[in-house]
A and B are shown apart, each in its own frame.
Chain A
Amino acid sequence: MDLLSSLALGFSVALDPINILYCFIGVLLGTLVGVLPGIGPTATIAMLLPITFTLGPETSLIMLAGIYYGAQYGGSTTAILINLPGESSSAVTAIDGYQMARKGRAGAALATAALGSFFAGTVATLLLAFFAPPLARAALNFGAPEYFSLIVLGLLVSIALAHGSILKALAMIVLGLLLGMVGQDIYTGTPRFTFGVRELFGGLNFVAVAVGVFGVAEILRNLENEKEREVGVSKVSGLWLTKDDIRRIIGPVLRGTALGSVLGVLPGGGHILSSFASYSAEKRLSKTPEEFGHGAIEGVAGPESANNAAAQTSFIPLMTLGIPAHPVMALMIGAFILQGITPGPNVINQEPALFWGIIASMWIGNLLLVILNLPLIGLWVKMLSIPYRVLFPAIVLFACIGTFSINQNIYDIYAIAFFGIVGYLLIRFGCEPAPLLLGFVLGPLLEEHLRRAMIISRGDPMIFIERPISATLLGLALLAVIVAVLPSIRKKRNEVFVEDD
């Protein structure tokens, strides 16, 4: 079957009024639940999954795709409005998005996120339709050594996440890597840093760490100077993007889409890097890097596009090979199986209506998301006018209940308190939380791939240089370090000391 008739088949499935309705309900519910603090896309989908069980296969999976996009956008909304990322990618959005919100530009930030995501979603959907099988094949060339090198590159490039001291950013990344190692070692079963608590065997919960270092720490910061000022948002100026904004976001959206599309195809952790990589790229390319971290619209546009493109292309390994790239995809596999479809290389041939229907509905889901969310921006921004003294108890409670509801694990709540105070201290002393979160999500991957690569090569570290893809990635990493270090060395000669990069 050629591509056009395949796509036509897909749209005939996706445009069925019932399917559109459920796609819309999915997007709506996904947005509303994903917006709750402490509940990211994975948790949202896990919670809403059972609703789809009673529906037919196409309808159910189309609704699920809607829930996924809705949840992702809902998560970004929380990150922008109250600095509470529900998953690693929105941790990046929170950096500049939240600063924009505090400057009264929440509307512009949310609109940028919605439009950037839509554009990226459209491009990535086309990629999925045209190139899914060859892309998935290419991704299989990535083994443990390649992933290790990719993660090293990602970590080194991401030092740009910080707008303060490079040393502190590095230290935060390393601290994050270490925190990611808490829990049972998969190679030997040894519990590490668990204080004998079985609940910690599975490691620290990302949401608990994020809620702690971003949310709780931010609340404590705001309680510092209560006497002098009411914390909150300066006057909301315009819900929509200005001409200047639009000019500024075009480049980041395009680059973010490209980066995200490529990284999303890699099942071993590529999608995690997409938003971090895009942020770093934008900061490097920007003529005004000093704006980053203080509400640069590029810092929202790039990562949000990259993230959505990656979210879309991460369906490629799932749909063509039946392998899940991340927890959300694992949930999707569960949903496929419950519908009597075993995801694998045969879905595209045996269930063409389903395969192309889902691809088409992804695009429709993205479209519905924009249609639904642009009007909702006004509502979200209004939420910011709730006085902070009312808002922050709500954030604390929602975060506790939300985190608890994911695994029913009270140690996740203790972790919120612990990371709240540690995060507060570190931020107070001039360190930023985003690199820590990046380290935290990449730590286990870094170790896993390093150790696996060494087992496969029988202890020979040359494997990283002998394999061409890995060697290229490491070369790029070295280049990134040189580029990062050179200007600061030059600067040091000229000035007595320089704190800022």
Chain B
Amino acid sequence: MKTIVKILAAGLVTGSALSAVTVMAQDYPNQPVTIVVPFAAGGPTDTVTRLVAAAMSEDLGQQVVVQNVGGAGGTLGAGQVAAAANDGYTLLLHHIGMSTAPALYASLPYDPMTDFAPIGLVTEVPMTIVARKDFEPATLEDLIAHVKENGEDITYANAGIGAASQLCGLLFMDALDTKMTEVPYQGTGPAMTDLLGGQIDMMCDQTTNTTSQILAGEIKAYAVTTSSRIAVLPDVPTMAEGGVENFELGIWHGLYAPAGTDQAIIDRLAASLQKALTSETVGTSFAELGTYPVQASEATPAALAQKLEGQIGLWAEVIAAAGVSAQ
């Protein structure tokens, strides 16, 4: 047994030592920083976090450890960070769900606005409106007409209550003033499987998951949800081009510390985040995901606070109008 432990320990120490680097002169950080991801390992948010964490740890001179605390639509992990010590060693990387939770959950154990100190925006992943490859409409205009005409006969997959894919669908139905039949899945992975197999008609999902299938011609893309076309999918029009105004939606990610964290530490982390976002590895990896790092001016506490406040207001309306609740 002892030998096993030794081999085990030795192997793991060598593994983790590879990422240990220079020591900073400053006091903070003098121990590893933990970023909590409120979702399971391997998901898109986890991937984004790990890429950013690796780049930040180079700058901070301390290991930045990613910890997955999944469950209850991301509210468990967020709640844990809200209650954590505000010493700058426990941070949260959360996506758009940070702004939808107050509208979805009646009893949220934290307040996204007052229990966190924003550090900065990280990225905003565009979404795509896609359909099975033999779906009749040819263009975005055709699609809009088709959906208006057939309404509930069209099945629309989403990843469950409060998921970005559901929110996107709600906005879409709201914009077209019609209803489709929602088919919830346990995450967008299985939903994509059924879309590929032609079991369902439509879905709205982030480019992270759809780009490679679109490029391979396995599914049809009708629109991107950004204000301008995106580089990896130059042929896919925006919603505005199809005549649907004000339909902008991205899965934005932000980095937060617990409220009351020292301003100097927040500034240090924001500077580190900005630096990480300009690194080449992060840039190219994000591009592979079909997204891009935000500008340095957006990776700031002020920009994130503003985004969060605006989004909380927006989703409160959309979700209340759709009558959705996760209790």
Contact = CB atoms under 8 A, between A and B. Distances in A.
A362 interface: no
Interface stretch (A100-108, A120-128, A321-329, A491-499): A321-329
A340 B288 contact: yes
A189 B162 contact: yes
A455 B212 contact: no
Interface stretch (B183-191, B249-257, B267-275, B301-309): B183-191
Contacts of A29: 8, 11-12
B183 A456 contact: yes
Given A323-B193, A338-B285, A32 B216 contact: no
A407 B8 contact: no
Interface stretch (A49-57, A85-93, A161-169): A49-57
Interface in A290-317: 317
A201 B70 CA distance: 10
A18 interface: no
B71 interface: yes
A187 B184 contact: yes
Interface in B36-88: 40-44, 46-47, 50-51, 54, 66-73, 75-76, 79-80
Contact of B7 (A32, A141, A344): A32
A409 interface: yes
B211 to A, nearest CB: 7
A250 interface: no
Interface size class of B (residues with CB under 8 A): 35 or more
B193 A330 contact: no
A109 interface: no
B288 A337 contact: yes
A383 B1 contact: yes
B161 A188 contact: yes
A352 interface: no
Contacts of B47: 334, 337-338
Nearest to A185: B161
A267 B215 contact: no
A184 B326 contact: yes
A407 B189 contact: no
A343 interface: yes
A202 interface: yes
B138 to A, nearest CB: 22
A343 B209 CA distance: 9
A344 B43 contact: no
Nearest to B42: A334
Nearest to B188: A323
Interface in B267-299: 284-285, 288-289
Contact of B71 (A144, A324, A330, A409): A409
Contact of A317 (B42, B43, B67, B193): B193
Contacts of B7: 28, 32
A75 interface: no
Contacts of B41: 46, 49, 331, 334
A25 interface: yes
A330 B42 CA distance: 6
A28 B197 CA distance: 38
A340 B284 contact: yes
B51 A338 contact: yes
Interface string A339-355: 01111111000000000
A199 B197 contact: no
21 contacts: A25-B11, A28-B11, A29-B11, A33-B8, A53-B50, A184-B72, A184-B326, A199-B72, A321-B193, A323-B192, A323-B193, A327-B40, A331-B41, A342-B208, A342-B212, A345-B212, A448-B185, A452-B185, A455-B155, A455-B183, A456-B183
Given A337-B208, A340-B285, 11 more contacts: A29-B11, A51-B16, A202-B70, A330-B42, A330-B43, A334-B43, A338-B51, A343-B212, A346-B212, A409-B76, A448-B186
Interface of A: 25, 28-29, 32-33, 46, 49-51, 53-54, 140-144, 184, 186-191, 198-199, 201-202, 267-268, 317, 321-324, 327, 330-335, 337-338, 340-346, 383, 407-409, 444, 448, 452, 455-456
